[in-house]
Homo-oligomer: A and B are copies of this chain.
């Protein structure tokens, strides 16, 4: 089909919101990083080495066993709320983190990305104010954008949003519909909000009646100690909490969950039903089978140990190779990412072709800002490279920076 001809003949008229929906900047950027043999720190993927293939294989065989009572049920239409066993598991796990959650508050979603889409549909009107961190998770900006909010970035430091920054932003406009937060090992920065900061900012949220969408895909990936209790445990009626099986089992299952206050749950459920009827029942049954005997208690520590060694390798390599350069980076205590700030005057996106030429790739930081991007920033993932590759890759990056500043 000739696109020009078909455009001329097109009977389609797009919705206004479609104008704001553009190909992901990162998607375009990542294309230039797809080169054989490149040391790739640009991805946001968990390490495939951590995927429990054997446990998945056994669980599939059990769910689909000849004569299995659940085989056909796992392949049939299912309840929009999700599988009762999984909803109960989520409620129990949250209880261990100090949050009193009823299974009736748990909605199983097609990945936690879908939770963001449902939140946007139920809470955002055109022009609604929505607060985000500086910088924030790009996928959340993409999920919220079709509902046409006005984003405002809250000044943030190595502990996430600051109480003063929050007050300043709140004074400048109407009360936002919510603030979107990733308190643990944030994507993209790797930073974590500590206990004291959680208390300070929560006082502001509660005082002003500013509700929170708390996204926690990385919380289980701590290295030395678990992160502080979730915000959900501190303000039950003011928090929608999003969780995921993507980083502790496998993202290709697309299995996440939303925990919502009882009065919001029916609207999120209705949005879920309209969006895809229900999360694949087969995937839910298989995961329930995998995790039923405490599998994650044995499996997740192996991911933590692996990622910690990789984090150590990256920080050591940065310490070594960036010596003498005015480069800063975060020191994550969990998760998958290090956030780097290059010397003043440099532009990470402009440097990327040189880095790729040298043999390594990163993601420029600009797309992670809702407004006023800092062009010096970039994100490095440490979880899909070996310590040796990390060492070589950081050396290459340092060379590129050194050439640029000299």
Q: Is the CB of B251 within 8 A of A75?
A: yes
Query: B residues within 8 A CB of A13?
Result: 123, 177
Query: B residues within 8 A CB of A147?
Result: 15
Given A72-B51, A123-B13: A253 and B273 interface contact (C-beta under 8 Å): no
A403 within 8 A of B: no
A211 within 8 A of B: yes
> Which chain B residue has the least Cβ–Cβ distance from A260?
B12
CB distance from A213 to the nearest CB of B (A): 10
> Given the complex of chains A and B, what is the CA–CA distance between A282 and B59 in angstroms?
14
Q: Is the CB of A237 within 8 A of B267?
A: no
Q: How many residues of chain A get a CB closer than 8 Å to chain B's CBs?
A: 95
Q: Can you tell how many copies of this chain the complex includes?
A: 2
Q: Is the CB of A71 within 8 A of B45?
A: no
CB distance from A249 to the nearest CB of B (A): 8
Query: B residues within 8 A CB of A60?
Result: 57, 60-61, 64
A323 within 8 A of B: no
Q: Scan A199-218; emit 1 where CB is below 8 A from any B CB, else 0.
A: 00000000001110000000
A171 within 8 A of B: no
Given A6-B261, A237-B10, A275-B143: A23 and B76 interface contact (C-beta under 8 Å): no
Query: B residues within 8 A CB of A392?
Result: none
A293 within 8 A of B: no
> Which chain B residue has the least Cβ–Cβ distance from A206?
B11
- CB-contacts of A263-314 with B (<8 A): 263-264, 266-267, 269-271, 273-283
Given A13-B123, A76-B250: A270 and B113 interface contact (C-beta under 8 Å): no
Stretch at the interface among A114-122, A186-194, A324-332: A114-122
Q: Contacting A283 at CB < 8 Å: which of B7, B14, B114, B280?
A: B280
CB distance from A274 to the nearest CB of B (A): 4
Q: Is the CB of A113 within 8 A of B76?
A: no
Q: Is the CB of B21 within 8 A of A271?
A: yes
A139 within 8 A of B: yes
Q: Is the CB of A237 within 8 A of B113?
A: no
Given A15-B124, A143-B274: A64 and B57 interface contact (C-beta under 8 Å): yes
Q: Is the CB of B57 within 8 A of A72?
A: no
Q: Scan A98-134; emit 1 where CB is below 8 A from any B CB, else 0.
A: 0000100000011101100100011111001000000
Q: Is the CB of A122 within 8 A of B18?
A: yes
Query: B residues within 8 A CB of A57?
Result: 60-61, 64-66
CB distance from A98 to the nearest CB of B (A): 15
Q: Is the CB of B252 within 8 A of A78?
A: yes
Q: Is the CB of B61 within 8 A of A75?
A: no
List 6 A-B pairs, minimum CB-CB distance, nearest first.
A75-B250, A60-B60, A252-B281, A48-B72, A57-B64, A11-B209
Known interface pairs A75-B253, A113-B277; 16 further A-B residue pairs with C-beta atoms within 8 A, sorted by A's residue number = A3-B262, A10-B263, A11-B237, A12-B123, A12-B211, A14-B267, A15-B125, A16-B125, A45-B77, A49-B72, A60-B60, A61-B61, A114-B275, A252-B282, A253-B280, A253-B282
Can you name 6 A-B residue pairings with CB atoms under 8 Å?
A1-B236, A7-B263, A12-B123, A57-B66, A111-B277, A254-B277
Interface, chain A (partner B; CB < 8 A):
1, 3, 6-7, 9-18, 21-24, 44-46, 48-49, 51, 53-54, 56-57, 60-61, 64-66, 68, 71-78, 102, 109-111, 113-114, 117, 121-125, 128, 139, 142-143, 145-147, 177-178, 209-211, 236-238, 246, 250-254, 261-264, 266-267, 269-271, 273-283
